[in-house]
Amino acid sequence: MTTPKLAFSVQEYETRIAKTRKSMEAAGIQTLVITDPANMAWLTGYDGWSFYVHQAVVLGPTGLPLWWGRAMDGLGAKRTVFMSHDHIFGYEDIYVQNPEKHPMQDLAQLVAAQGWQNTHIGLEMDNYYFTAAAYLSLVQALPGATWADANGLVNWQRAVKSETEITYMRRAAKIVEKMHATILETATPGMKKNDLVANIYHAAISGADGHWGDYPSIVPLAPSGADASAPHLTWDDAELKVGEATFFEIAGVHRRYHAPQSRTLFFGEPPKKYREAENAVLEAVAAGMAKAKPGNFAEDIAIAFNSTLNKLGFEKDSRCGYPIGLSYPPDWGERTYSLRKNDKTVLEAGMTFHFMPALWLDDGAIEITEPVLITETGAENLCNTPAQLAVKG
């Protein structure tokens, strides 16, 4: 039997499972079908780029989790999960992308074989990868079960990070610092955007301080000039220009743990408006950080941030942050609380979020954002990158 290379102790996985079961019990859920790749990894260690086919981790009323997926990916499960091989179940390749046969028919058989076919089953209803067809197929194949929406149930267990998780995020933070340093060092007017992104990727994957870089759940977002008024454009081969701002929304990643951080680069003397926006963002972030401490609500940070921003003549309609940690594409957020008004999530030591005060201007944007850890007494920025508009040339 292969010994898997686990990122955490078996004890840590067991603690996570116990915590999840407690939350299942509170919701009256006996069996949980987990399709979010980050939740699958958090509960079992499973790691592989196989979420483009149907797969799940099933946590029944008793026992360890079961890994279920395409048979060939069962080999990857054997090499990455903490459970013994009799907890790994693969379906035949004929189920793959075949309109005649849905893999969830096979999962239903597995659930029934455990005797769980008549239990109250929780599903991650709004998770990427749990499609409408998967839902209909599973419900049809288990007529004796009753169903609950367990979307976010495991995500919420992940909110407070363990010591080892924080260690991985600190390593990721050093990697993103290096990525921003690489941008400052190598970006020049006239350089093609994709050549700069190639440098960013090289820095990201080679890692920092002896710790290797993993792939980010969102590719580098790096729009320039007016393109930067749109938040989620990627790149092409347009040349960097004097008199134009480019924002870099990027993350360092170590063992799937993310530290996102953004900076904005300007070639030449930034216009007054950019300097005013920079000052407003920094002052508003400081006001928000003062509210980032155990016992406060998530909204307290947003209210302090937004009121300071408004006082200085700027507005931001969208949320100014979200939780981060372990993730898989297409999102590095944990999708639980948000830093926005009316979010009464109570902050606790060990929570980590991306403080994301992006400011959209008519003709571009300013992004100076940070990965933040809630400590026993307040909050810590995991990065030391200078918090300012980066100006070159």
- CA separation for the pair 383, 374 (Å, rounded): 14
| Pick 291 or 335: Cβ nearer a copy of itself | 335
Q: Which residue has the tokens 């100076």?
A: 368
Residue from 10, 22, 28, 49 touching a copy of itself (CB under 8 A): that is 49
Contacts of 116 (CB under 8 A, 6+ apart): 30, 31, 58, 60, 61
Q: Which is nearer to a copy of itself, 19 or 78 (CB)?
A: 78
For a copy of itself, the binding residues in 204-263 under the rule CB under 8 A are: 204-207, 211-215, 218-219, 221, 226-227, 229-237, 255
Q: Closest distance between a copy of itself and the C-beta of residue 282, in Å?
A: 22
143 binds a copy of itself (CB under 8 A): no
Q: Is 127 in the site for a copy of itself (CB under 8 A)?
A: yes
Q: Are 39 and 155 in contact (CB under 8 A)?
A: yes
Does 318 participate in binding a copy of itself (rule CB under 8 A)?
Answer: yes
Among positions 6, 27, 75, 282, the unique one binding a copy of itself when judged by CB under 8 A: 75
**DSSP character for 259?**
E
85 binds a copy of itself (CB under 8 A): no
Q: Please, which residue, 275 or 319, has the CB nearer to a copy of itself?
A: 319
Burial 250-280 (b: 16+ CB within 10 A, else e): bbbbbbbbbbbbbbbbbbeebeeebebbbeb
Structure tokens, 369: 């954002």
Name the residue among 212, 210, 240 with its Cα closest to residue 227. 240
Of 116 and 130, the one with the shorter C-beta distance to a copy of itself is 130
Does 12 engage in binding with a copy of itself (CB under 8 A)? no
Cα R_g (the chain), whole angstroms: 22
Which amino acid is present at 193? K
Question: Measured from the CB of residue 260, what is the shortest distance to a copy of itself in angstroms?
Answer: 13
**Contact with a copy of itself (CB under 8 A): which of 10, 18, 133, 181?**
133
Smallest distance, Å, CB 302 to a copy of itself? Answer: 12
Q: Specify the residue, 47 or 278, whose C-beta has the smaller distance to a copy of itself.
A: 47
Residue from 115, 268, 295, 330 in contact with a copy of itself (CB under 8 A): 330
The distance of closest approach from Cβ of residue 68 to a copy of itself in the complex, given in angstroms and rounded to an integer, is: 15
- Other Cβ atoms less than 10 A from the Cβ of 41: the count is 21
Can residue 319 be called a binding residue for a copy of itself (CB under 8 A)?
yes
Window 151-190: residues binding a copy of itself (CB under 8 A): 151-152
User: In this structure, what DSSP letter does residue 109 have?
Assistant: H
23 belongs to the binding site for a copy of itself (CB under 8 A): no
Q: How far is the CB of 371 from a copy of itself (least distance, A)?
A: 18
Q: Shortest approach of a copy of itself to residue 373 CB, angstroms?
A: 21
Question: Strand 146-149 relative to strand 370-374: parallel, antiparallel, unpaired?
Answer: unpaired
164-180: b or e for each residue (b if 16 or more CB lie within 10 Å)?
Answer: ebbebbbbbbbbbbbbb
Binding to a copy of itself (CB under 8 A) within 360-389 occurs at 360
Element holding 282 (H helix, E strand)? helix 272-290
Between CA 291 and CA 227 the distance in angstroms is: 33
